[in-house]
Structure 1
C-alpha cells in the first residue's frame, strides 16, 4: 500500500463533520450573546453613572455611558471618562474585564470556525484523501458494522486502513475510539463515497440497517468503482437477489446464518461451536482463500495445501468440493478455500496469509 509511513490516517480522524446548526443561526446566536453582554454592562454603568467622571464637561449622559462601555470592552480606555467610586471600579474590574475577554474569545472563535477551521478542514481532508489507498470502507456503523470492524482489527487489519461512513455522531465517536478514520455523510450519495476515494478502496462492507438503503449504497458504490469487492448485510431473504443485481460481490443474511447455527446445534452442540470458530478471528481454526500459484497448476488440491485442509475450489462460476475429481487437477485462476490454524492455535503457517 502506497502510503508514507510517517503519516497515519488515524492522526486525522475526521474527514468532514457538518455543524448541527445552520451558519446563519450560529452567527446570530454569537452576535446576540455579545450584544447581551454589552447591553448588561451599559445598563449597570447607566444606573451607576454617578460613579463615573467625565473630564470633558463633567456630565455623564447615556451616550457617554455607551461610549465608555464600548471603549472599556474593546480597548483599555482613553481616560476621558473614568470610574471614580469603589463600586464602579469593582464593577469594571470584576465584570467588564471578564466581558471583554468573553467578547474577544467569541470573535476569535467565530473567525476560527467560519474561516480558519474551514480552511484547515479542507487542507486536512485533502491530505487524508491523498493517502487513502487500498483501504476498507465501512458504510453503516451499527451493530453489524461495528462487529465487522472489531473482527477486521482482530484479524490484523490496521485501524488507519478503515474508513467509516455514518450519519450518527455517536457511532462515529465509537469508530474514532477504535482508531478508524470517519466521515459524517450519506453513503447513498456519490459525493460521500468520492470523498473517501471509493475507487481506490480494497473492499467495502455495507450494513446500513435497512435493506433498501443498503442496496442503494451498493448501487452507488458499484457505478463509482466497478472492480470493488462489496459485501452487504441483507435481512430479508427476498432482497438477496436484488442486492446481487445491484452489484454486491457477497451477500450475508445474518438471520439465515443464525438459523444455520441453531439448526446445527440440534445435530450436536459441537457443530455450531465449530462453525462459530471458523467465522471468528480468535478461534482455533479459520477459513482463508487464495489463488492457485503458477507452480501449482496441474497439481491436486491436497498436494498444494500443506499446513491446512483444502475444502473446495472456485473455478469461474463453478464450485467443486474436496471429493470431486476437478480438485485433482488445478487450473490457472482457481481459488482455493482452506481451513488453517486460527489465532487461537497459532501456527507459523499463518504468516503466509497475513
Structure 2
C-alpha cells in the first residue's frame, strides 16, 4: 500500500512538471500550447529531438530545470514500479510456499474440486464446522479471492494428476467432486482412488445416466442435484416439521446440537462392549439413533445390549462438545469419558 501511495504522488509530480514546463515555454518563448507541451515532454524524457522553438539564456536554464525535475520523477516512478512488481511476485511465491507446507502437514482433511455454484455452499458448510479443507479451483479470480478469505485454495485443473497430488490426497479423509463435467469427474475419481484407496468420495452427477459410471469409477456417494432438490421439496411439503428439526440440527446453528457419524477404531475402549456398558448415553448425554456396521448394514434405534465393534459407525445426536469428546474416545485418543 505504501508503494502504491508513493506512485500516486510521483504521478501527481509528473503532472505538475508537465504543467510547469508547458506554461514556462508559453511564457518565456511565446510558444503555442502544442509546441510548449512537445518541448516539455521531449525534455523530461531526454529523447534529444532538439529545440523546435528558439531559446535564449533564460530559456535554456528553464529547460535544464524541467529536465532535472522530470528525470528525477521518472527514475522514482521506475523504482516504485519495480518495487511493486518485486513485492507482488515475492509475496505470491512466499504465500504459495507457505500454503504448500501447510497442506503437506494436514491429515484427515477434505478436498473440494470446484468452487462454483454448488461448491461454494459445500465449502460454507465445511467451514461452519471448522473442517480442514483444501480447494482446487480453475478460475484464477475465484482462487485468489478464496486465498484472501483464508481458504487453502490451489489454482489449477483437478483433472491433472499433479494438481491433485498437491492436496496431500494420501492423508485426506474425503473428496468432494463438484465440477461441471461428468467425464472429468470420472477421471478425477479414478486418479484419487488410485492415490488413496480408503478415501471417501462424494460426486455430483449432472446427468442421472452417469451416476452408475461415477460409482463404478470409485465414488462412494453420487448425488444428482435435480433428484435431490425434488425429494427435498417433496419432503418439505409433506413433512415440514421433520425437515425443520433436521435443518435446526444440521445447518442453522441456532442450537448447540449436531448429528454425526463417528467411526469406532480398534484402539477404542468401547470396542467389543455393549452400548449400556460403554457409558456413552449416560456420561455424555448423546443419543445413538443408529449403528452402521462395517459391512454396510444399518441398525436403527439400537438396544442397550447392541455390541459396538471396530469399524462400526455410531450415528449420534447431541451437543457439539460431547460429540467431540466421543470422537476422541472412539479413536482411542482418550481412555475414559
Q: Relative to structure 1, is the Cα distance of residues 302 and 322 closer, same or farther in structure 2, using a 3 angstrom cutoff?
A: farther
Q: Relative to structure 1, is the Cα distance of residues 127 and 42 closer, same or farther in structure 2, using a 3 angstrom cutoff?
A: same
Cα distance between partner residues in 1 of 2:59 and 2:297: 95
Cα distance, 1:294 vs structure 2: 4.4
Q: Gaps (5+ residues) in structure 2?
A: 1-40, 328-337
Q: Relative to structure 1, is the Cα distance of residues 353 and 95 closer, same or farther in structure 2, using a 3 angstrom cutoff?
A: farther
1:349 matched to 2:322? The reply is yes
Trace 1:326-345 onto structure 2 (pairs within 5 A): 328-341=306-319
CA offsets, 1:151-207, max 9 Å, x none?
A: 1222133xxx33221011332234224311222111110111122322232332221
TM (norm. structure 1) is 0.65
CA offsets, 1:196-225, max 9 Å, x none?
A: 322232332221133333332222222222
1:287 matched to 2:265? The reply is no
Match of 1:149 in 2: 123
Trace 1:196-207 onto structure 2 (pairs within 5 A): 196-207=167-178
User: RMSD over aligned Cα, in angstroms?
Assistant: 3.8
- The answer as to whether partners of 2:272 and 2:307 remain within 8 angstroms in 1 is yes
1:100 matched to 2:75? The reply is yes
Match of 1:29 in 2: none
Cα distance, 1:120 vs structure 2: 5.0
- The answer as to whether partners of 2:291 and 2:302 remain within 8 angstroms in 1 is no
Of structures 1 and 2, the one scoring higher in RCO (CA 8 A, sep 6+) is 1
Tell me the secondary structure at the aligned position of residue 46 of structure 1.
coil
Q: Relative to structure 1, is the Cα distance of residues 336 and 122 closer, same or farther in structure 2, using a 3 angstrom cutoff?
A: closer
Tell me the secondary structure at the aligned position of residue 194 of structure 2.
helix
- The answer as to whether partners of 1:155 and 1:281 remain within 8 angstroms in 2 is no
Cα distance between partner residues in 2 of 1:271 and 1:182: 36
Q: Relative to structure 1, is the Cα distance of residues 97 and 220 closer, same or farther in structure 2, using a 3 angstrom cutoff?
A: same
CA offsets, 1:124-162, max 9 Å, x none?
A: 4654454344433221111322222221222133xxx33
Match of 1:41 in 2: 45
1:243 matched to 2:218? The reply is no
Cα distance between partner residues in 1 of 2:187 and 2:80: 45
Number of aligned pairs?
280
Match of 1:320 in 2: 298
